[in-house]
Amino acid sequence: MKVFRNVPLLLLCLLTLRPSADAQPGAFNPALLECGRHGEAEIICGTWAPEDLERTPDGRFLVVAKMDQGEYGGLDLFELATKAFTRIPLSAGKRPDWGDPACTDSIGRRIQPHGLSLSRRTSGEWQLYVVNHNVRESMEMYEVLPDGGSWKLAWRGCVLAREAYNDVASLPDGSFVATRPQALHKNGQNLFGGEPSGNVVVWNAGNGERTLPGSEYGFPNGVLVSGDGRFAFISGWTTRDLYKYDLKAEKEVARCEFNFMPDNLTWTPEGGILAAGIKGVSGDCPPESGNPCLQGFVVAEIDPETLASRIFYDNSGKALINGVSVALAAGDAVYVGSFQGDRVVQLPR
C-alpha cells in the first residue's frame, strides 16, 4: 500500500526516511528488532521497501518490488538458499503483442515498482507485470528469462494508466486485472471512513481498459485471479475485507471480513490465498522518534472456494517489521515484506 496523488495527511505517518548510505541494518528504525533470528522468525536485511514479492519459475528466487524512487528502488532478486539480494539484469525489446502499441519505449531502471504478478502466457513465455509510479503511471511488462543459474528481465511493453494502479493479476492471454484504490477519491474524503474510494479494471489488447461493474470498494488493494480465469479476489484495505468477484457474470459473489487491513494477496503452492497487512494506523508516535505509526501485522490463509480463513501468523507485539504488505509461501517458509524499511521476515510453514 502507498498513496500517490493528493496524499491525505492521515497517511503521511506511514512513510519513513530513507536510510543514509552508511546506515547499519536497523539503525534508522530503533523500534524494530535487530536483523537475525528471533525464535521461529528470522529478519533478513539488505533490501528497501519490499512491497510485493513473486516466486521465480524455478522456485529458487523471489522477485522483489522495492517501492522507492531513486537508488533504493527497482526490482531485485532474492535467492532463498543464500538469503542474498541482487539487482535483476534488465534489457529492452518491444514486442508488438505485449501491451499497448502506443507504448514504445522502456523507462529502464527508473521504474518505481508497486504490485507484481508473474504468470505464464498461453504462448509459453513467463510474463512479469509491474505497477509503476515513476516517469509515467503505467503497467510495465517484462519477459522473465533464464540467466545461467539465475533470471533476467526483458522489457516488452506497457499500458499507460488513466488512474494510478496498485496491484495487478496478469492473465495467460496477456490481459490483466488491476486495482485503482483512489480512482473515485474526492478531495476531503476520509479514506478510512469505509466509503468507496476506488475500483477495479480489466485490460486487454482488443478493448483497452474497462471498469468492472460493481467494483467500487474502500481502497481496493491486492488482487488475484483464479487459475481458470473465472474469479477475481480483491482486498479492501481500509474496510478490512476481501471480495470474490465473478469475472464472467461481472458481479461480486462473496465477501469475508478480517480484523486487520489486508494488502497484497498471493497464492500458496497448494492453491490457498495468503493475505497480509497491518492491524491499524495510529497517530500516537511522536514525529521525532523516526518510527512509523503502525501497530502490528497479521498473515491469514483463505480458502478461495468458501472464503473461510484462519490466522497463519500474528506478530503479537513482536517488533519484527513495520508496514507489512505481503506474505508469500516459497519452499518451507513464508516471506513477509513491507512498503517501507530494510527487511523481509522469514516464517516457517
For residue range 173-198, what is the model confidence (pLDDT) as tens digits?
Answer: 999 999 999 999 988 788 888 899 99
Q: Report, as an integer, the average pLDDT of 267-291.
A: 75
Q: Report, as an integer, the average pLDDT of 148-174.
A: 97
Per DSSP, what are the bridge partners of residue 251?
246
Match 490457498 to its residue by C-alpha cell: 272
Classify residue 74: in a domain, yes or no.
yes
Which range, of 1-10, 34-43, 246-255, averages the lowest pLDDT?
1-10
The rounded distance, in Å, linking the Cα atoms of 104 and 153 is: 17
The CATH number of the domain holding residue 219 is: 2.120.10.30
Determine which helix (DSSP H) or strand (DSSP E) holds 90, and give its type and residue range: strand 90-92
Q: Report residue 32 as a C-alpha cell.
A: 524494530
- Tell me, yes or no, if the pTM score tops 0.95: no
Classify residue 6: in a domain, yes or no.
no
Confidence label for 10 from pLDDT (cuts 50, 70 and 90): very low
Res 282: pLDDT: 57
Classify residue 239: in a domain, yes or no.
yes
Classify residue 286: in a domain, yes or no.
no
Classify residue 42: in a domain, yes or no.
no
10 Å Cβ neighbour count for 134? 17
Angle at 232 between CA 228 and CA 237, to 5 degrees: 155
Res 293: pLDDT: 53
pLDDT digits (tens, 9 = 90+) for 322-341: 999 999 999 999 999 999 99
Classify residue 156: in a domain, yes or no.
yes
Provide the 3-class DSSP secondary structure of residue 11.
Answer: helix
Classify residue 123: in a domain, yes or no.
yes
Q: Report, as an integer, the average pLDDT of 101-128.
A: 97
Query: What is the tally of structural domains in the chain?
Result: 1
Match 522507492 to its residue by C-alpha cell: 68
The rounded distance, in Å, linking the Cα atoms of 291 and 200 is: 32
What is the maximum alpha-carbon separation in the chain?
54
- Which domain range does residue 303 map to? 48-274+296-314
Classify residue 55: in a domain, yes or no.
yes
The answer to whether residues 66 and 16 touch, using CB atoms and an 8 Å cutoff, is no
Res 234: pLDDT: 98
pLDDT score of 29 more than 60: no
